[in-house]
Structure 1
Amino acid sequence: MKKWLTILLNISLIIAFTWIGKGIVAITHIPIPGSIIGMVLLFFGLQSGWIKLSWVEAGAALLISEMLLFFIPAVVGFMQYSWMFGIKGLVILFIVVSGTALMMISTGVISEKILARKSGEVRRWFPRYFI
């Protein structure tokens, strides 16, 4: 019971930051979603030490583990507009695959540069397996 109460309080804190972000957007009319502003505020709170990781860790872990439930509306939308994916499906597939590949390559290159800098090695911009 104590575990579930802790998780509920963790999720409540995460939701509070989302509401704070939405309030900031309502007041300032920034063209960024309030939930994003709230998560950025939570991130800076964690980085600065104002908020301890233990205050949100269990709740965030539960939300991430149950993330599939949050995508059910997207699946329903896909089923409702399946004709659009039939017509433009190849274009969407190309965009998704190329975007994923670009992100994987850029993440790998940046990670290698960071690791090389930490270890003191001097490496070329592209790893050997690209040349």
Structure 2
Amino acid sequence: MLTIVWQIGVVIAFSWIGEGIVSLTHVPIPGSIIGMILLFFGLQLGWIKLNWVEAGAALLLSEMMVFFIPSVVGFMQYSWMFGIKGLVILFIVVSGTALMMMATGVISERLLERQGGEARRWYPKYFL
């Protein structure tokens, strides 16, 4: 248990480092994103071992829905979004999600085919 707390602390530390970089440089990118990019490069370059963050990151990912509860509760303050504008927002979110899912599937199949595997196509070959 203490190991997971330590690993979550490492992930949070990188997020704080990213926030510090944003406050110093005023880059228009969220600090948490910069922190995760730094963590990614640290892992790729071998400065950080995967087992230093793996279990903690897996726990955070498995409990991700808990982190969205404050956002949903805050959304309730904006009742105007539940009208026509809400339908437009819902359409954008659903269509964006569907496009990302399709793109992920197509890219995954292409990578699998490139590696010599057999991909099961759900779309015609002339699609892309």
Displacement of 1:127 in angstroms is 4.2
* Structure 1: runs of 5 or more not aligned: none
Please tell me the residue identity of whatever aligns with 1:19: W
- Tell me the number of residue pairs that the alignment of Structure 1 and Structure 2 aligns: 124
Whether contact under 8 Å (1:21, 1:38) holds in the other structure is: yes
Q: Deviations over 1:24-51 (max 9, x none)?
A: 1112111111110000000111111111
Alignment-derived partner of residue 42 in structure 1:
39
Q: Distance in 2 between matches of 1:6 and 1:53?
A: 13
Runs of 4+ residues deviating >3 angstroms: 126-131
**Counterpart pick for 2:28 among 28, 31, 55:** 31
- What amino acid sits opposite 1:62 in the alignment? L
Distance 1:20 1:130, change over 3 A: same
Aligned to 2:78: 81
Normalising to structure 2: TM-score of the pair?
A: 0.84
Identify the match of residue 17 of structure 2 among 17, 20, 30: 20
When residues 19 and 36 of structure 1 are mapped into structure 2, their CA distance, relative to the original with a 3 A threshold, is: same
Q: Give the letter aligned to residue 35 of structure 1.
A: S
Cα distance in 2 between the residues matched to 1:76 and 1:101: 25
Letter in 2 for 1:94: F
Q: What is the Cα deviation at residue 108 of structure 1?
A: 1.8
Instruction: Work out the CA distance in 2 between the residues paired with 1:75 and 1:103.
Output: 22
C-alpha RMSD of the superposition? 2.2
Unaligned runs of 5+ in 2: none
